[in-house]
Amino acid sequence: MNARIDERLVEKALRLIARAAIDTPEATARAEAELARWQARSQENAAACHEARNRWQMLGNMAPDLREHFDAPPAGLPQPRRRQILALLLTGGATGLLGGSAWWYRQHETLLARDYRNNTRDLLLAELPDGPAGRPGSRLQLAPATHLRASLSRAARSVALTGGEAYFAIAPDAARPFRVRTRAGDIEVVGTAFSVSDRGATVDIAVEHGHVRFTPRAEGFARLPLFGPPAIDLHGGEALTLHDGHPETVRPVAPGQIAAWRDGWLVFDDMPLADALPTINAYRQQPIALADPRTGMLRLNGRFRAQDPHSLVRALPAILPLDVETLDDGSVQLTAR
């Protein structure tokens, strides 16, 4: 549903986000906990927090202006004093730059805030009204057990992927880059087609055509847009996997492997069974479980029909050294031989 966001709530969230990015590790933990509690109190707070994160990220795109207006304090200052000055500059600067003018508010006022959930075992298709004059533009495909939240303004487009797998065909708009936020970092594009997967173990990005830029999430002071880790560029036919937020080397990927679930296939390329099961279980009424961690370390390769998960279960003992046991409740347990 569409929603207007209270600017006072956005400013409060911005202050908490800035504290979490700048302060000491102990104070950062307190600010993060306070932000999480505050965000959970109401849908209005959650929407304001999402908008504040969008605006905080935009500081990275304003780097030249920030350097011009907010010179860093001398490095020789004692750390507590230096931290206080930085906090004052950045939190005050963020409020002034991001929320202080009517023009800025009009450009960044949230026009659409909508949740998309696919709780079925079929694909969910959706279109965002980000084309010319608000017409349908970008197209989204959500795999089963996928949740994301879309936010549109006159100046920005973003989607937060909470979990699952989604394919994005982005309508070109150089004035409004499109961002996908994941727990491992953010992906920015202008116009391209790519997929993002997060089933809990790894975050995977694959680009069908065009160009995306992935910025890893950072901790502590490196959370500031000006001081964070370097971005990683991906072009058509390239993929990236992140383990616990740490990126592997960019690798080539075949077109038929990018979001193959759109065509009804689950493709696994030397993937630990423990990492593959969340994807398989998204298509099952009763889950498959592992008897022990050793079983989860077995590597799965193959191409399987997404809508026929039972045949995959029947095939597992033939391709992996494991036994399959169906329990009374219909769930399945796998045990390495």
- The pLDDT value given to residue 132: 87
141 and 248 share one domain: yes
259 found inside a domain:
no
Distance CA 247, CA 223 (A): 17
Distance CA 43, CA 335 (A): 43
Distance CA 87, CA 81 (A): 10
Distance CA 51, CA 152 (A): 10
258 found inside a domain:
no
- The pLDDT value given to residue 219: 66
241 and 131 share one domain: yes
- The pLDDT value given to residue 221: 52
134 and 187 share one domain: yes
- The pLDDT value given to residue 58: 64
Answer with the one of 191, 220, 252 that is the final residue of a domain: 252
124 and 236 share one domain: yes
How many helices (DSSP H) and strands (DSSP E) are in the chain?
9, 19
Which stretches in the chain have pLDDT values below 50? 1-2, 60-79, 81-82, 84-86, 88-91, 101-102
Tell me the H-state helices in the chain: 7-22, 25-40, 43-58, 63-69, 79-99, 102-108, 273-281, 293-296, 309-319
- The pLDDT value given to residue 229: 77
- The pLDDT value given to residue 186: 93
133 and 230 share one domain: yes
Residue type, 302: G
| This prediction's pTM | 0.68
12 and 96 share one domain: yes
Answer with the one of 80, 106, 132 that is the final residue of a domain: 106
77 found inside a domain:
yes
- The pLDDT value given to residue 187: 95
207 and 151 share one domain: yes
What CATH number should be reported for the domain holding residue 234? 2.60.120.1440
Answer with the one of 106, 121, 140 that is the final residue of a domain: 106
135 and 210 share one domain: yes
2 found inside a domain:
no
- The pLDDT value given to residue 272: 93
How many domains, the chain? Answer: 3
190 and 285 share one domain: no
Distance CA 149, CA 46 (A): 11
290 found inside a domain:
yes
Task: Print the domain residue range for 23.
Answer: 7-106
What CATH number should be reported for the domain holding residue 298? 3.55.50.30
1 found inside a domain:
no
Tokens of 100: 């202080």
102 found inside a domain:
yes
277 and 323 share one domain: yes
152 and 243 share one domain: yes
- The pair phi, psi for residue 273, each rounded to 5°, is -60, -35
66 found inside a domain:
yes
Q: How far is CA 301 from CA 2, 109, 267, 270, in A?
A: 43, 47, 8, 5
18 and 97 share one domain: yes
